[in-house]
């Protein structure tokens, strides 16, 4: 049974024909820690990868049609991922949508979309740079001409000029 509060282990291996991975988790069963598999995935090497040497095969990144992500449970690590995906120099304070795209390529955790939205919407730098999203300003209107003298009096106080 999968438990999101416990750490995961990912085992990856390559052989002459293909690549494989197994996601394991240590759980307490009958008061004893037992490590067991949660899921498996494998694929054959393509013709280009078939020409790789032993060192290259071991360094070959495990890629599939699905995005390879890390499941996170540590809040400190999640904050780091959010910072690196939104605030870092390489990220450049991306929009909420772009931050979502960037985060989903490398990691996953419960309520990740909500966390990314909250982080992006509360970013101090973005709030200062983006336009106000409140009530729109009204159109300029012409002041009606007074019908008699001193009907409309307007004064502007200009102070502290250089």
With bands split at pLDDT 50, 70 and 90, how would you rate the model's confidence at 159? Answer: confident
Q: Does domain 1-62 have CATH number 3.10.20.370?
A: yes
For residues 68-88, average pLDDT:
78
Per-domain boundaries in the chain? 1-62, 69-129
SS3 category, 32: strand
* Count of beta carbons in the 10 Å neighbourhood of residue 130: 11
- Percent of residues, the chain, with pLDDT higher than 70: 86
- Percent of residues, the chain, with pLDDT higher than 90: 2
- pLDDT above 60 for 83: yes
Residues 6+ apart with CB under 8 A from 105: 67, 69
Q: What DSSP string runs through 11-64?
A: EEEE-SSEEEEEEEEEEEETTEEEEEEEEEEEEEPPHHHHT--HHHHHH-----
Question: Looking at residue 32, what is its pLDDT?
Answer: 87
Name the helix (H) or strand (E) containing 118: helix 112-121
With bands split at pLDDT 50, 70 and 90, how would you rate the model's confidence at 114? Answer: very high
């Amino acid at each position: 049974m999968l438990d999101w509060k416990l750490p995961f282990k990912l085992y990856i291996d390559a052989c002459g024909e293909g690549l494989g991975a197994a996601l394991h988790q240590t759980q307490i069963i009958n008061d004893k820690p037992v490590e067991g598999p949660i899921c498996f995935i494998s694929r054959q090497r393509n013709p280009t990868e078939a020409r790789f040497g032993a060192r290259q095969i071991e360094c070959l990144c495990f890629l599939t049609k699905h995005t390879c992500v890390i499941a996170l449970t540590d809040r400190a690590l999640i904050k780091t991922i959010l910072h690196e995906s939104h605030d870092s120099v390489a990220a450049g304070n991306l929009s909420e949508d772009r931050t979502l795209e960037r985060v989903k390529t490398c990691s996953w955790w419960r309520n990740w979309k909500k966390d990314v939205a909250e982080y992006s919407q509360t970013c101090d730098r973005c709030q200062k740079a983006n336009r106000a999203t409140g009530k729109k300003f009204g159109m300029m209107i012409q002041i009606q001409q007074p019908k008699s003298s001193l009907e409309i009096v307007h004064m502007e106080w200009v102070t502290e000029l250089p």
